[in-house]
Structure 1
Amino acid sequence: MITADFAILPVGINSTELKEYVTKAVQVIKDSGLNYQLTAMGTQIEADDYESLYQAIAKAQEALFDMGLGRVYTVIKIDDRRDKDGRTLQAKIDTVNELLD
């Protein structure tokens, strides 16, 4: 299972309000059918292969360009764990929660 954390940032806008852009990008990820979790600082996503992962993120980025932006900055962090099966986003969270006092 490949998991990724990413953020897409519009550049050159005249506002500090980003909800319109975040909503558009997250809608694309939701429509991709991949499992995702929205966080306050980005979006986490799961995929079985790089092609579907990158395709979903690329479509989300392109959706912001379709909103009229001239520049978009995207940060992607990827965890590709192949020594264990089923290491979903939730499984990773559950593992840490089980160890907390």
Structure 2
Amino acid sequence: MAIVDVVVIPVGTEGPSVSDYIADIQIILETHKQTGKIDYQLTPMNTLIEGELEDLFEVIQEIHNSPFNKGLDRVCTNIRIDDRRDKSRKMNEKLDSVNNKLDKKRKDEK
């Protein structure tokens, strides 16, 4: 199981807002989530997607192409991959691990 951090940047839009393009990408992600192959989380600055790496590359290609389908001639996509092979960890499990350690440190300080 891998987790990717993806930022799709449509270049050459009519204005500074890109939320319409991001909404289209979220629809694509919802469709893939319904198959059970991925999970995702939209944040204010990026989208996090988890799944098997092969499936993630397929999804990334589709969301990268989405702004081209709306007539744009240039898209920049930044991808960061966390591919841990010694154990399978989901996004929420990684957060739980940090929060548990934080709780312990706070208790130890008292």
Q: Same fold (TM over 0.5)?
A: yes
Q: Structure 1 residue 53 and structure 2 residue 18: aligned?
A: no
Q: Secondary structure at the match of 2:75?
A: strand
Asked if structure 2 preserves the Cα contact closer than 8 Å seen for 1:7 and 1:76, the reply is yes
Runs of 4+ in 1 over 4 A off after TM superposition: none
Structure 1, unaligned stretches of length 5 or more? none
Q: Secondary structure at the match of 2:47?
A: strand
| RMSD of aligned Cα (Å) | 1.0
Larger Rg: 2
Q: Structure 1 residue 89 and structure 2 residue 91: aligned?
A: yes
Structure 2, unaligned stretches of length 5 or more? none
Q: Structure 1 residue 17 and structure 2 residue 2: aligned?
A: no
Deviation per CA, 1:55-94, whole angstroms, max 9, x where unpaired?
Answer: 1111111121101110000000000001113x00111111
When the two structures are superposed, what TM-score results if normalisation uses the length of structure 1? 0.92
- Higher helix fraction (1 or 2): 2
- Percent identity between the two aligned chains: 37
Deviation per CA, 1:5-52, whole angstroms, max 9, x where unpaired?
Answer: 00100011231111101101121112112100111111000112x221
* Distance (whole Å) between structure 2 residues aligned to residue 51 and residue 41 of structure 1: 24
Q: Secondary structure at the match of 1:35?
A: strand
Pairs aligned (count) = 99
When the two structures are superposed, what TM-score results if normalisation uses the length of structure 2? 0.85
Which letter does structure 2 place at the counterpart of 1:5?
D
Asked if structure 2 preserves the Cα contact closer than 8 Å seen for 1:29 and 1:57, the reply is no
Asked if structure 2 preserves the Cα contact closer than 8 Å seen for 1:5 and 1:44, the reply is yes
